[in-house]
């Protein structure tokens, strides 16, 4: 045990002091903030770029005026929603004033007039031209001339405003009053409520869904990153012949256990720093799009995350350590490690189906299969917790598989670390297992 802890301590200290550890520790929270808070900030910035100037070319003045009114209201409504999301998520200052949309109505529908307005758009004198002639209205296909064809947010606002204006005009032609039309277009809000204990106070299913997926991606990247670190550490010491010196004071199984323990401790340290950062954000009252972090990351999710990270790391780092002992170069390692990546990639591919239906047969069986259980069972626990005996069976199977892999890979590790210059083949590996 003394040798195991010495090797683990060496791995831990060496990696914690490295630049890559510091960069990843800082970079991941920054990326987390960029992915969560960034979209709302970008939406506000895009919607608050000053006044927008549009021209509606309409055969009927009433249609043009209706589109003009709805465009202004749509722009103001969407800008206000984005500003409120920013204010809630960042808790700073007052909401930004909504940008204005200046809309002119032109009843000249000739091709000459359309060409003149198109030229103005090209010269950035106008932001857009909407052609609502009688023919276009009859086919429900209006032309929208703009330079910013890739601005899907602005296009969606224009489309929403034009569509609502035309529907209002149709209802008005049917004889409905303005108050009746307003009542028809009054938005109905659907508030999801979890059926679990807690009633209205229970976690919002949509928040749980996105929070779970976010945690799954961190789990996926952590298993992959630290497993590869173990492989590279073994390969580096093997190619530099440091392994031969270490073998004079420690047994191969002690070296493998020390590396797995040391790199795993680095992973837990990094996760602890990220957890403390999230706790600080939660304590300050900040959230994501107005949702407090405490309602996204529950205690159940955090406990399950740490538990399945340890299970998954122990399993996959053992496989990666064996790969590092087998190969002689980084190129060979990349070819073989794809076999280890297949179950992890399959688990990520099944993430969305399992989240949407955590009680399905594919979700149950993949959460029991040891190579996919660390990710799939975590998803099931986060979204809709299965029975305790399902979790117990999944954990027991994963532990048993990990123990078997430690015995198997330990034999490969024992022989492989001293094999140089010979590319490993399956028959050769089988010989190592028998002779070890």
Where in the sequence is the domain holding 357, given as residue range(s)?
A: 8-36+204-435
Least confident of 10-14, 38-42, 210-214, 365-369: 38-42
Q: What is the CA radius of gyration of the chain?
A: 30
**Assigned domain for 386 exists:** yes
**Assigned domain for 238 exists:** yes
3-class secondary-structure state, position 19? helix
- pLDDT of residue 191 exceeding 60, the answer is yes
- Asked if residue 130 and residue 216 are part of one domain, the reply reads no
**Assigned domain for 168 exists:** yes
Read off the DSSP letter of residue 270. H
Q: Whole-prediction pTM value?
A: 0.65
- Asked if residue 72 and residue 20 are part of one domain, the reply reads no
3-class secondary-structure state, position 97? coil
- Asked if residue 58 and residue 32 are part of one domain, the reply reads no
**Assigned domain for 43 exists:** no
- Asked if residue 422 and residue 281 are part of one domain, the reply reads yes
- Asked if residue 242 and residue 151 are part of one domain, the reply reads no
**Assigned domain for 193 exists:** no
Both ends of the chain: CA-CA distance in Å?
A: 21
Least confident of 105-109, 280-284, 309-313: 280-284
- Asked if residue 113 and residue 28 are part of one domain, the reply reads no
**Assigned domain for 190 exists:** no
Mean pLDDT confidence for 168-173: 86
What is the pLDDT confidence band of residue 92, given thresholds at 50, 70 and 90?
A: very low
- pLDDT of residue 385 exceeding 90, the answer is no
The last residue of a domain, from among 184, 215, 241: 184
> 258-290 b/e with 16+ CB inside 10 Å = b?
bbbbbbbbbbeebbeebeebbeebbeeebbbee
**Assigned domain for 17 exists:** yes
Q: From residue 311, how far is each of 71, 121, 228, 317, 395 by CA, in Å?
A: 55, 60, 16, 10, 8
Mean pLDDT confidence for 362-366: 91
- Asked if residue 140 and residue 264 are part of one domain, the reply reads no
pLDDT at 36: 57
Number of structural domains found in the chain: 2
The last residue of a domain, from among 154, 184, 214: 184
pLDDT at 289: 46
- pLDDT of residue 368 exceeding 90, the answer is yes
pLDDT at 94: 43
- pLDDT of residue 202 exceeding 60, the answer is no
- Asked if residue 416 and residue 286 are part of one domain, the reply reads yes
Q: Among candidates 82, 116, 115, which has minimal Cα distance to 96? A: 82
- Asked if residue 246 and residue 160 are part of one domain, the reply reads no
- pLDDT of residue 395 exceeding 90, the answer is yes
Contact 91, 189 (CB under 8 A): no
- Asked if residue 219 and residue 174 are part of one domain, the reply reads no
- Asked if residue 226 and residue 345 are part of one domain, the reply reads yes
Give me the helices (H) in 284-337, please.
293-296, 299-326, 330-336
pLDDT at 303: 84
Residue 104: which CATH number? 3.40.190
Within 13 Å of residue 89, how many CA atoms lie on the same side as its CB?
18
Average pLDDT, the chain: 78
pLDDT at 172: 86
What are residue 206's DSSP bridge partners?
none
**Assigned domain for 41 exists:** no
- Asked if residue 167 and residue 273 are part of one domain, the reply reads no
The last residue of a domain, from among 184, 218, 240: 184
Give me the helices (H) in 240-297, please.
242-246, 252-283, 293-296
């Amino acid at each position: 045990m003394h040798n195991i802890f010495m090797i683990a301590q060496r791995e831990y200290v060496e990696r914690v002091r490295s630049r890559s550890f510091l960069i990843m520790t800082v970079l991941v929270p920054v990326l987390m903030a960029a992915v969560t808070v960034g979209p709302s900030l970008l939406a506000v910035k895009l919607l608050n770029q000053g006044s927008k100037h549009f021209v509606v070319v309409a055969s009927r003045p009433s249609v043009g005026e209706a589109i003009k009114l709805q465009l202004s209201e749509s722009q103001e409504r969407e800008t206000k929603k984005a500003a409120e999301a920013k204010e809630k998520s960042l808790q700073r200052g007052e909401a930004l004033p909504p940008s204005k949309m200046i809309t002119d109505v032109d009843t000249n529908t000739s091709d000459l007039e359309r060409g003149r307005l198109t030229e103005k758009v090209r010269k950035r004198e106008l932001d857009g031209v909407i052609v609502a002639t009688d023919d276009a209205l009859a086919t429900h296909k209006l032309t929208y001339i703009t330079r910013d064809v890739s601005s899907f947010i602005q296009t969606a606002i224009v489309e929403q405003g034009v569509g609502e204006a035309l529907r209002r005009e149709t209802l008005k032609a049917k004889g409905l009053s303005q108050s009746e039309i307003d009542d028809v277009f009054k938005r109905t809000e659907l508030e999801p409520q979890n059926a679990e204990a807690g009633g209205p106070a229970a976690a919002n299913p949509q928040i749980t869904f996105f929070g779970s997926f976010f945690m799954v991606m961190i789990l996926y990247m952590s298993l992959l990153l630290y497993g590869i670190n173990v492989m590279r550490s073994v390969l580096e010491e093997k190619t530099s012949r440091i392994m031969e010196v270490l073998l004079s004071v420690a047994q191969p199984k002690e070296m493998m256990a020390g590396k797995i323990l040391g790199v795993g401790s680095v992973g837990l340290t990094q996760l602890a720093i990220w957890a403390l950062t999230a706790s600080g954000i939660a304590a300050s009252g900040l959230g994501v799009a107005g949702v407090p972090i405490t309602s996204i990351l529950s205690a159940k999710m955090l406990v399950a995350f740490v538990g399945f990270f340890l299970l998954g790391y122990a399993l996959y780092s053992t496989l990666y350590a064996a790969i590092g002992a087998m190969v002689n170069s980084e190129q060979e390692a990349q070819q073989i490690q794809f076999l280890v990546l297949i179950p992890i990639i399959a688990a990520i591919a099944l993430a969305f189906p399992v989240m949407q239906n955590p009680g399905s047969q594919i979700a149950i069986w993949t959460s029991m299969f040891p190579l996919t259980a660390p990710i799939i069972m975590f998803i099931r626990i986060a979204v809709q917790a299965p029975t305790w005996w399902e979790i117990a069976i999944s954990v027991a199977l994963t532990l048993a598989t990990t123990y078997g892999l430690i015995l198997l890979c330990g034999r490969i590790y024992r022989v492989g670390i001293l094999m140089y210059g010979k590319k490993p083949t399956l028959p050769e590996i089988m010989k190592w297992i028998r002779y070890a």
